Structure 1
Amino acid sequence: MPKPNETAFENHFCHQLEVAGFDKRHHKDIAQNLCLHTDELVEFLKATQPEKLQQLKTEYGQTWRSEIADKLNKALQSKRLFQILKDGLEINSQIHLNLVYFAPAKASDTRQKALHLKNRFSYIRQYHFESGNQHGTTDHKKSVDIVLFLNGFAIVSIELKNIGTSGSYSEAIKQYLQRDLSLPVFTLPFLHIVCDNETAMMAASFGRPPSAEDFRPFNKVILRTPENAWQDKKEYPVHYLYHEVLLPESLLNYIETYLYSGKHSNWIFPRYHQQRSVRRICSDIAGQVERTGTLNLRYLVQHSTGSGKSNTIVWLVQNLRNLHVNNTRLFDSVVVLTDRVNLDGQISDNFKGAIDSTGVVAYTDKTSGSNITLKDALQKNYKVVVSTIHKFSHLKDLENQTGKKICVIIDEGHRSQEGNLHEKMTDTFDAGTGDELEKLAGDITKKVYPNLCFIGLTATPSDLTLERFGRKNEKGEWEPFDVYSMDEAIAEGYILDVVKNVIAYETLYELNYKYDSEKEYPPLQIYSALKKKAFEDDEVIKEKCGIIATTFKKQTANKINGLAKAMVVTSSRLAAVKYKLFMDEVLQKRGLKYKTLVAFSGTIHHNGQNFTEAGMNAAVLQERKLEEAFEKDGTIRFLIVANKYQTGFDEPLLHTMFLDKSMSDPKNIVQTLSRLNRTAPGKDDTLTVDFTNSYDNIIAAFKKYQKQVTSHKDARPEDLYELKNELLKKGVFTAVDVEECLALYHSEKGEDAAALYAYLVFIKKAVEAKLDVEERRVFRTLLSRYVNFFSYIRTLFHIPQGELHELYLFSSLLYKYLDTTMTAAELEAEMRHVKLKNYDISKVDVTTAEEDEDDGEGGEGSGNNGGNVTSVSKMATVAEVVEIINLRFQEKVSPEGAEVIEGYANSMALNEELAADIRNNADKNPEELYQKIIKDKLVKYYTDYIIKNNPLKYSELTDERVLSLVSKATYQMLRGRLGV
């Protein structure tokens, strides 16, 4: 029976490589300075270019091998090895060696196919990178478990670990970092893999200095069910490496269409979900066309922020532009539409890095220095055309390309920050105001396009987007073609979970209305206007600025190694102007050396002055661009925005958001809060401070796109004490143990470190002796929950030094010792997934209501705070609406209760008995009529309705103040409907 150790794992891995077509080779044949297996290269040249090899030998005699090495060394001074493999090696003006042959695009190209089959794939097990150790005993610090070669060139290095014997993948990462990573075996390959039996990480190249962050997750399945569960059960969970990723054809495909230079002379390698989506789309398109002979195809790719959509688009283009069906190139052109106004950004930079051939890519945007139109680019047969969506006003340019097949990739991932344009732009796919962008999406689904294929990429698809671009699953539900969810991006560490830390402020206040007017307006119009006025009130904004300054200083300023920044999202441009003025004033009074920037469009008239974004920022920007200054100037810590920078703004140092703009649209909520989720060194959490009482909306919005979201709105600070008691009840440690451990922990005596370790091991033994496996898991979970709760709560409240502090330190120490295979990094990663609870920590005398016109989300029936009691009435006076607002905010009810109240109000609107009572007594005093006749009937109907529809909410909804509020509001609504 084979033993489950690293040797067995390595044996299996290498066997699978041989099955895939790799030949085993020996280390002694390697030229160390180039990590080159010369004999393999020679055999490849003999099989594919014998005439050139003979010419090389004739011209250079016995030095022909060293001539190849010299030319290779010289080429490596300006190119990466994967580029040299693709381009070939120039020996002299007469001799050019091809170093690899890719698969032919056309199956009929038999010559290319024959050459392609002569590529030589090999591997060396235990590759020793220090010559003195080539034939000695294995030294894992001086050898790599497996190195893969293509035609003699090292292209991949692999370090394996077996969980339970040689450690986890994190131990393999440590080994890499202990080595001299400037050696050829670490600089020439385009991929370095570390993996244990379950988890894989990869590095394309190493930073200077190298760090563990160079390795990123490279997993097939994080949170979803494997595609072939039975097959996966018979294999190591990382079998996809040797069954998919490292197959000879996959490696060739990476070199041919995926690898290109990125920042700092490094290169980009596709993550698993990126290559999966590209492979699936290309395969499906080819299959559909082969079966039907036509296009008219639509695909939706839902990839989270942090998924690398810009790179995915580049790789889609690279593979689609060369896609062949039945020996014919399928697409004449691939068009990329992006809603980034300035194409001199990430997408164009990526294309320039990936496609360096002139005449291949056209940019139809003046800001990129191009005057070419989409129509011109297509007529001139550019293979790739990149255009901004706002310049793409209709589909005629594509429809009129007679006889041409075109793939259109629509990128929703980047948004303009230019105010006027951005305010007019709507979701690329969603219906809205009927502008050109949504007309584009509407037209796509209304017509048949036999020559077009559409691929949409978005992180937050709406229901309409799913219907227009998605596909129906077995349950009849619309779903995307390919998904990389927020949960996966969070689990892999590419983004942070922004829902974990949300502080919800109550934002209730009463309005003062003294003007006597009986003029009637639609209630929602009044409601929106009142809400807007409240959010622009000077005293209210001043009070919030004080809270912002305090919160930032205590909870944010020291985050991300003291570099953390904040965004203040305001409800209107006037509010943004006031926030800028008052924040600067508050910061100066408190002696805080922080600077602010404000972003809004147009000109605002306030207190007899005209305010513009440029004018208000002039002293801080000093002719710099706003984005650049906010990123690089450490003194600028606040960005105040009004309808700008809420989408498409990627600033990793953004840690905290102060939300003072009511939002109800799930997509808008997710996109706005996702400004915080970018990762950065030293950034391990985020914070959202909500002034709008939108916590329920936030949770509901993220649940639409992120399954691992739990609302803990009803949590109490007493949970710390409850957790403490639960831990002590397990009987594995006592308060005395806590005290003695911490005494050792704080001791300055060197020998006490050993004593502390021994004490913790003693407690660990108690855990193992007193608790079974399941109880141990529960115990560890309780410890981690306590640590996380304490860390969160102490950011909100001052917790006096004492038993809670002591238990926090003790729990942090003990947790690490309960699983000896867990590293500190793994501990930190696991604890991040523990959901934290939210507390209403303060009250601010400000109200929230439905969206106003600035938000672009309003409209009748969009309210969500406490039920839409007021929206039932067709007309009302300002005084009546103010009264109802004030009454409903004097007593809060839960969201479920609000739904009951709204249902009751709607049912009363149809009650003919009450309507008759009001009409028949139209001449009586309204208040007298209410008190003597209507009130009792309303109360009876109300209580009956609750008992019938939600009896669990009876005590909450029949509270005297709630009962009075609902009855009076319903009465006013009925009178308004009857016009009396």
Structure 2
Amino acid sequence: MPSVTNEKALESAIEKKLSGTCLEELGTTSGVSERAELYRAGNGYYLGETKDFNAKYGIDEKRFWNFLETTQKDELEKLQKQNDWKLKILERLDRMIKKYGVLSILRKGLEVDDANFVFMYVLPLASSSKSIKDNFESNQFSVTRQINYSLDNKREEIGLVLFLNGLPIATMELKNPWTGQTAKVQGQDQYRYKRDISQPLLQFGRCLVHFTADTDEVYMTTKLEGKDTFFLPFNLGNNHGKGNPPNPFGHKSSYLWEEVLTRSSVANIIQHFVRFDGSNKDNLSKRNLYFPRYHQMDVVRKILADASKKGVGQTYLIQHSAGSGKSNSITWAAYQLIETYPESDKIPGSKGIDNPLFDSVIVVTDRRLLDKQLRENIKEFSEVKNIVAPAYSSKELRESLESGKKIIITTIQKFPFIIDGIADLSEKRFAVIIDEAHSSQSGSASDNMNRAMGQTLSEDEDESDPQDKILEAMRSRKMRGNASYLAFTATPKPNTLEKFGIKQENGTFKPFHLYSMKQAIEEGFILDVLANYTTYKSYYEIEKSIEDNPLFDTKKAQKKLKAYVETHRQTIDTKAQIMIDHFITKIVNTKKLKGKAKGMVVTQSIKSAILYFFAIRKSLEEKGNPFKIVIAFSGKKTVEGIEYSEDIINCFAEKDTRDRFADDDYRLLIVANKYLTGFDQPKLTAM
């Protein structure tokens, strides 16, 4: 059929780019020439054959044994005196992949009795020894088309599979939009409804990623779950929106095989990006496998490349919208920055190409969740323990900085307390990652932060604008060579753009990297608020009881008056009633998400959150308690003479709030400065 022919044409184009040739050029679809020149052409892949695929173990046996025999002959000899030694290795491999996934084998190797096998030689650095570089070149990447993957039905095929040393790393189904077949619809449906996910190759953890692609777009998933399989877009974005831009040199989606699937890129992704959450003690099926979306991989790689080239003392504004997976991007960046090496010993901050560029990476955030994510993430990549040092007290922070901890997580509130007692750190090099820069880098706390890094502000600086003071400090002579600042934010203010952004010829500033709100909306990661909101106007009438005063600050007064009105019992009771009526009518009664949809009430302060909680709870009691609510805020707050905390109001521990809200009984979450970013609740429908 034409569609099959066209899909095969795309297969052959990818195959040729990766290996330097394709089955059609060889004049055969059943056998592959052993000519050595076929390897190292294209992107350095071997051309695989379907007959070499072992469906029971999900591996390319030819590449598997050839790799071990050519690189680890001595280890094989330890087992070759035993009967069925090959079967013993395969059975051990199968058990370990079922328990920990193929990622564990690629990263940590395989032990069989007293033999220890490596299954991926790591990507070398520019300064690496010749033996390390030679080892990497001995890796055998291969690409095989139309693999018969099923033990039960020999007619079942996967369009294209990529292997590393015989182990599967990616599958791919290809479609052609010109025939009405797209990756987004038919490609995803093929994985959901027409592929037997019980077969070894498609079981969770056997492959790192499953792609569906056409000439225009790419989608991916790490877990095939039949009809419930969830795909993520793996696209560049076009005009700040979804999809991919026109490509004058080929298909819009060609970056997948021309850039992402090169040998060095794949090795980098395996070494530094792909990870499981949870613990190895957890059942594999209960864990999640993270593969970076394109913009996540792209921003980290560009930051590292720029730092290696330009050295320390740079500023970066990463404008990534809600829905971008910013927390993962930050953790990937933090971990890889501690292993970033300068291109030369002449760039600012360089201590030689054999030494890392940064002594420590400091993550400044108000999100405790990021602490946990960083710990879990880095455990997957490093055998060294205690790389991440949480520093939530002045003592912890001071000790971590002075002892040279590699990754330090702190909050903007705690950072200033190290100033008086800390040693001079001007000779050290830091990368400072600021989470949600527009809110974290303001006020006196940010001034103290620069002072703690060994910097001082000029005495004649304008005290009225802390943003200007920070900018001046970062541009001062002392600031150079001491720290690079990376600001991650979804909505940068103009002064944040100017402080961290890249200046254009017309005098404006742009971010170093952008994943726009438009793209997040079009890709379905966040709702378009402007298309899904209801407005309620507020009118204030407050009696004036003072004489006109020329020193009276009208702007500040209006702000205080508004705060007074907004926290008044009558105001809150009225608004609470409106919100509950709307939520019950539009969400609960309409059975959204099969009657499990949830909502979030975002308040301006902890006091407001507490008052709204009790007002909403009272309204629900009057309606017969149709569902439960939960509150989230940090610390303690005294309201109307009573001290409250999150756990006291909820009647369960603060650490359990996220999990409790996931229960079906709880439908509304009232928050104040918490869970506003990096909070993933799939059933959240209204705000």
Per-residue CA deviation, residues 385-404 of structure 1 (Å, 9 max, x unaligned), is 33333332267999834754
The offset of 1:596, in angstroms, is 4.3
1:216 corresponding residue in structure 2: 232
Please, which of 423, 426, 429 is the counterpart of residue 441 of structure 2? 429
Residues 957-972 of structure 1 correspond to what in structure 2 (within 5 A)? none
Residues 207-246 of structure 1 correspond to what in structure 2 (within 5 A)? 209-224=225-240, 232-246=247-261
Write the distance in 1 (CA, Å) between the matches of 2:255 and 2:327: 25
Q: What is the identity, as a one-letter code, of the residue corresponding to 2:139?
A: N
Residues 444-459 of structure 1 correspond to what in structure 2 (within 5 A)? 444-446=474-476, 447-459=478-490
Please, which of 621, 627, 651 is the counterpart of residue 588 of structure 1? 621
1:460 corresponding residue in structure 2: 491
- Whether 1:559 and 2:592 are equivalent positions in the alignment is yes
- Whether 1:97 and 2:117 are equivalent positions in the alignment is yes
Contact 2:147/2:160 (CA < 8 Å) preserved in 1? yes
User: Is the partner of 1:556 in helix, strand or coil?
Assistant: helix
Residues 429-828 of structure 1 correspond to what in structure 2 (within 5 A)? 429-431=441-443, 436=448, 441=470, 443-446=473-476, 447-508=478-539, 510-511=541-542, 518=547, 520=549, 522-524=553-555, 527-528=558-559, 530-557=561-588, 558-570=591-603, 579-597=612-630, 601-605=636-640, 610-614=641-645, 618=648, 621=651, 627-628=657-658, 631-640=661-670, 643-645=672-674, 647-648=676-677, 650=679, 652=681, 680=682, 686=686
Write the distance in 2 (CA, Å) between the matches of 1:125 and 1:133: 17
Q: What is the identity, as a one-letter code, of the residue corresponding to 2:67?
A: F
Please, which of 434, 445, 448 is the counterpart of residue 410 of structure 1? 434
- Whether 1:287 and 2:303 are equivalent positions in the alignment is no
Write the distance in 1 (CA, Å) between the matches of 2:159 and 2:673: 51
The offset of 1:8, in angstroms, is 1.9
Residues 911-930 of structure 1 correspond to what in structure 2 (within 5 A)? none
The offset of 1:146, in angstroms, is 0.4
1:400 corresponding residue in structure 2: 424
| Cα gap change, 1:462 to 1:350, in 2 (>3 Å) | farther
- Whether 1:365 and 2:398 are equivalent positions in the alignment is no
Contact 2:326/2:678 (CA < 8 Å) preserved in 1? no
User: Is the partner of 1:125 in helix, strand or coil?
Assistant: strand
Write the distance in 1 (CA, Å) between the matches of 2:680 and 2:488: 21
The offset of 1:552, in angstroms, is 1.8
User: Is the partner of 1:302 in helix, strand or coil?
Assistant: strand
Contact 2:162/2:170 (CA < 8 Å) preserved in 1? yes
The offset of 1:24, in angstroms, is 1.7
Q: What is the identity, as a one-letter code, of the residue corresponding to 1:256?
A: Q
User: Is the partner of 1:493 in helix, strand or coil?
Assistant: coil
1:143 corresponding residue in structure 2: 157
Q: Tell me the TM-score normalised to structure 2 length.
A: 0.80
- Whether 1:152 and 2:166 are equivalent positions in the alignment is yes
Q: Which moved more, 1:480-489 or 1:551-560?
A: 551-560
Contact 1:336/1:411 (CA < 8 Å) preserved in 2? no
Q: What is the identity, as a one-letter code, of the residue corresponding to 1:627?
A: T
The offset of 1:357, in angstroms, is 2.0
Contact 1:282/1:323 (CA < 8 Å) preserved in 2? yes
Contact 1:621/1:629 (CA < 8 Å) preserved in 2? no
2:177 corresponding residue in structure 1: 163
Q: What is the identity, as a one-letter code, of the residue corresponding to 1:650?
A: F
Q: Which moved more, 1:378-387 or 1:297-306?
A: 378-387
- Whether 1:185 and 2:201 are equivalent positions in the alignment is yes
| Cα gap change, 1:580 to 1:452, in 2 (>3 Å) | closer
Contact 1:364/1:388 (CA < 8 Å) preserved in 2? no
Q: What is the identity, as a one-letter code, of the residue corresponding to 1:323?
A: T
Write the distance in 2 (CA, Å) between the matches of 1:483 and 1:20: 29
1:196 corresponding residue in structure 2: 214
1:8 corresponding residue in structure 2: 9
Contact 1:335/1:387 (CA < 8 Å) preserved in 2? no
Contact 1:331/1:404 (CA < 8 Å) preserved in 2? no
Q: What is the identity, as a one-letter code, of the residue corresponding to 1:645?
A: K
User: Is the partner of 1:602 in helix, strand or coil?
Assistant: strand
| Cα gap change, 1:79 to 1:127, in 2 (>3 Å) | same
1:965 corresponding residue in structure 2: none
The number of equivalent residue pairs is 617
Q: What is the identity, as a one-letter code, of the residue corresponding to 1:409?
A: I
Q: What is the identity, as a one-letter code, of the residue corresponding to 2:387?
A: V
Higher helix share: 1
Write the distance in 1 (CA, Å) between the matches of 2:614 and 2:429: 55
2:330 corresponding residue in structure 1: 313
Write the distance in 1 (CA, Å) between the matches of 2:400 and 2:576: 51
2:56 corresponding residue in structure 1: 33
Contact 1:300/1:469 (CA < 8 Å) preserved in 2? yes
The offset of 1:122, in angstroms, is 1.2
Please, which of 259, 262, 270 is the counterpart of residue 274 of structure 2? 259
Contact 1:127/1:147 (CA < 8 Å) preserved in 2? yes
Write the distance in 1 (CA, Å) between the matches of 2:632 and 2:386: 38
The offset of 1:651, in angstroms, is 5.5
Q: What is the identity, as a one-letter code, of the residue corresponding to 2:376?
A: N
In structure 1, the gaps of 5 or more residues are: 290-294, 414-425, 653-679, 688-980
Q: What is the identity, as a one-letter code, of the residue corresponding to 1:49?
A: Q
User: Is the partner of 1:504 in helix, strand or coil?
Assistant: coil
Per-residue CA deviation, residues 133-170 of structure 1 (Å, 9 max, x unaligned), is 55xxxx4xx11000111111111100001113261112
In percent, how many aligned pairs have the same letter? 27
Q: What is the identity, as a one-letter code, of the residue corresponding to 1:153?
A: L
Write the distance in 1 (CA, Å) between the matches of 2:370 and 2:314: 30
Write the distance in 2 (CA, Å) between the matches of 1:204 and 1:56: 34
Contact 1:223/1:487 (CA < 8 Å) preserved in 2? no
Contact 1:162/1:197 (CA < 8 Å) preserved in 2? yes
In structure 2, the gaps of 5 or more residues are: 20-41, 279-285, 345-352, 453-469
User: Is the partner of 1:503 in helix, strand or coil?
Assistant: coil
The offset of 1:597, in angstroms, is 4.6
Contact 1:311/1:350 (CA < 8 Å) preserved in 2? no
Per-residue CA deviation, residues 58-80 of structure 1 (Å, 9 max, x unaligned), is x33x6232222122123224322
Please, which of 299, 302, 307 is the counterpart of residue 277 of structure 1? 299
Write the distance in 1 (CA, Å) between the matches of 2:668 and 2:608: 15
Q: What is the identity, as a one-letter code, of the residue corresponding to 2:325?
A: G
Task: State the Cα RMSD in Å.
Answer: 3.5
Write the distance in 2 (CA, Å) between the matches of 1:620 and 1:509: 33
Contact 2:124/2:132 (CA < 8 Å) preserved in 1? yes
Structure whose CA Rg is larger: 1
Please, which of 373, 384, 387 is the counterpart of residue 407 of structure 2? 384
| Cα gap change, 1:519 to 1:213, in 2 (>3 Å) | same
